[in-house]
Structures are given as structure tokens and as C-alpha cells.
Amino acid sequence: MSYVQLDYSPGKEDLVCEFHVEPRKGLSLKEAANHIAAESSTGTWTEVSTMRERIRKLGAKVFEIKGENVRIAYPEELFECGNIPQIMSSIAGNIFGMKAVKKLRLNDVIFTSNMVKSFSGPAFGIRGVRKLIGVKDRPLVGTIVKPKIGLNEKEHAGVAYEAWTGGLDIVKDDENLSSQAFNKFEKRVSETLKLRDRAERETGERKMYMPNVTAETTEMIERAGFVKEQGGEYAMVDMLTTGWSGLQSLREENNDLKLVLHAHRAGHAAFTRDTGHGISMLVLARLSRLAGMDQLHIGTAEVGKMVQEDDAMKLEDALKCDWHGLKKTFPVASGGLHPGMVPELVKKMGLDIIAQFGGGCHGHPKGTKAGAMAIRQAAEAVVRGIDLNEHAKNNDELRLALKKWSG
């Protein structure tokens, strides 16, 4: 049975995947594509007696081959709507281990309308997050408590308080901080939320804390519930290390908890960094929105310290585009940012971003609070169309930040 049908035109009930394919030596691209389509739908390595005509109709169809890029259409019936693990086991499962390919990358997936509508999507989205925080006309600014790990609960809360009173909207746990012996989850959440309340009273602004609830699924959901009980409004989760089923379980529980869900992409480069093999960040971004993440890290468009494997603009579009009624996911920029980078960041990514600073806040010559003030000053200058160096003349915190990192 051939799965290559170059005269086929995908319909509305076809899921379409775009792959980058490098066949093994001695195999043509067309032959490799046929193997991929077979393995990811109805086929196997040899003819089988159990194949029926009605099953043949469910086979994937390779309908386009251009250069090293192959597009394959899959009948919607092959998938269980609302089930990300099953979908990914099909289109991104055994195919990566096949001898037929030297390298294989899933670059994009176009889901059917029915499949998109089977997911809850974000509970808040960009509009909901902005309404909650009360900021409409500038990027949201935040920090990750640093050092990444090692502070005790009260030290952690103290750093958060300094950042909030310096003008930041959001404070986030680092991705590898959960509930270690020196910093227990419940005590950290309680201490930090107490100082959040204090910072709100002192500044007159809404302040948000993103505690990392990542754990085994049952424990993760219990931690999210504890955050809600303590008056928290956010939960952060390490999206890929948690796994799609855990992520969907958290989103389902969130129908009652009503927390903003912030997705960290820790581990993504294991899939995305090799542009010839793996799974693109674009695919992961689409899946995160389906799974109901209100916010997602997408890099810094080459502004910061991290490699940008996929076009940040495509990632933003995947999170912000109209998509069969799903709310829009808030793009998060983080990784080696400092106040001097804000103009370029906004130029590339727009105002609808959450810009998060780690060392670029806490490494300020005058400490965390001054670093937070410099970040807020930079964000407000950009929104008002004022050159940072000009704005720094009347803002000592920004001046010192620019001297240290942009001088």
C-alpha cells in the first residue's frame, strides 16, 4: 500500500503535519515519507492479513514533497479528540526511531476545527491576565527569584517583596525549585503571599506570585489547591517535564481553582534545538494553548542569552491568533534580559508580552529593588517613546543598570 498521493488535497477534516526529513543512505525522500506516513497511521513494516479496505481509507497521505520538507494529511478519525498524549503518540511517536530516516523533525501541525474545539484552552488568556493585574498599556514585567535555588522560605519571600515594591508586577519561582529540604513548598507559598499582600498595600498595585507546583500529578494538583487556599492567583508548571497528561489534568482541575496557569518550557531544547531533528517549539506552543496554558515562555527573539531555534514571531502568532474560539496565550520572554534590552525586545515582540528578568534585576549595583525600579523605568520609557539614555538622566536606577550592562 502506498501512502504517497501527491494529487491529494487535504480537507477540513484532515490534520496536517509538516516534517523535515533526511532519509537514511540509499533511500529516496519519497520512500522515507511513505514509511513515516505508514508508521504514524495504519501501516507497519510488511503487508498484513488484517488490513481491510475501510482501514486503508484511514491511512495518512503524503501530499507534498518540497526539498527536504514533507507534508502529510491524517484523517481526523485517527485521533481521540481532547487527548494530547494519543495525538502525539501518533504523529510524533515511533517515527523518530525508524531506520528509514537519518533525521526527522516535526515542524508544524495544523489541527482540525473539531480537534481544537475539543480542548478547553486557556482560562484567562491575555485579556484575562491584564484584567487581573490591571495593566493595559505596557508589557508586564517580572522577575525570577535568584539565585535559582538555595534560598530558604523567608529569604525567598524577602527577595519577592523587594522586586514588587520596586515596581515589578510578577515574581516567579525558578523551574527547578519545588519543595526541597531548605525551602518547603507550603511554607514558601505562605511567606511569599504574605509579603505580596504587604507590597500591594504599600504600592497600591496588584502583585502576582507564580509558585512552581510541578510534581507528580496528584501532588501537583494538591499544591495548586493549596495556592488557591492561601489566596494565590497563579500556578506555574514545568510543562514538558510534567507531561501532557499531567498538564491536561491540572487544567481540568483548574475549572474549579481558577488560577492563571503559567507554563515554563524547561527541557524543550532536547526536542527543539536540532533544527533537523525532533519537534519544533512551534508545535509545543500550539499544544500548550490547546492544553490551557495562559502563559508560555517562547524565548527572547535572540535578544537574551538563550538560543532561539524557532522564529519568535511564528510562536507569538500561534499563541495570539484567532483559533476557533480559544483564548490567547500570553507570550513570556526570559533568559539573560536586562533593562537596556527592553526597547529591542518590544520592537521585536510588541507590547503584549511578559518580560521576566533574573540576573538583570537582582544583579543591579544597588540590589533587587533598584533593579526592579530600573526595569519598570525602562518599560515606561519605551511605552512613552523616550530614549533610555535620555530617561536615565532623571532615573538613577536605570542609569546604573545601563552603565553596568549596556555601557
Q: What is the pLDDT of residues 92-120, one digit of tens each?
A: 999 999 999 999 999 999 999 999 999 99
Does residue 264 have an active-site annotation? yes
Q: In what order do the strands lie in the sheet with 14-23?
A: 61-66, 69-75, 14-23, 101-110, 278-279
Tell me the whole-structure pTM to 2 decimals.
0.94
Amino acid at 329: T
Q: What is the pLDDT of residues 120-137, one digit of tens each?
A: 999 999 999 999 999 999
Q: What is the pLDDT of residues 28-62, one digit of tens each?
A: 999 999 999 999 988 765 676 565 566 578 899 99
Q: Which position among 61, 146, 156, 172 bears the catalytic label?
A: 146
Q: What is the pLDDT of residues 335-351, one digit of tens each?
A: 889 999 999 999 988 99
Whether residue 312 has pLDDT greater than 90: no
Does residue 348 have an active-site annotation? no
Strands (E), 253-360: 260-264, 278-279, 295-297, 330-334, 354-357
Give kind and range of the element (H or E) at residue 129. Answer: helix 125-133
Q: Which position among 20, 207, 264, 391 bears the catalytic label?
A: 264
Amino acid at 367: G
Q: What is the pLDDT of residues 77-96, one digit of tens each?
A: 999 999 999 999 999 999 99
Q: Which residues contact 281 (CB under 8 A, 6 or more apart)?
A: 265, 268, 272, 298, 299, 309, 310, 315
Torsion of CA 229, 231, 237, 242, to 10 degrees: 0
Domains annotated for the chain, with CATH where assigned, are: 14-117 (3.30.70.150), 125-405 (3.20.20.110)
Q: For a pLDDT cut of 90, what percent of the chain falls above it?
A: 87
Whether residue 14 has pLDDT greater than 80: yes
Q: What is the pLDDT of residues 163-219, one digit of tens each?
A: 999 999 999 999 999 999 999 999 999 999 999 999 999 999 999 999 999 999 999
Cα within 13 Å of Cα(15), Cβ side: 26
Taking residues 370-379, report their average pLDDT.
Answer: 98
C-alpha cell at 153: 522560605
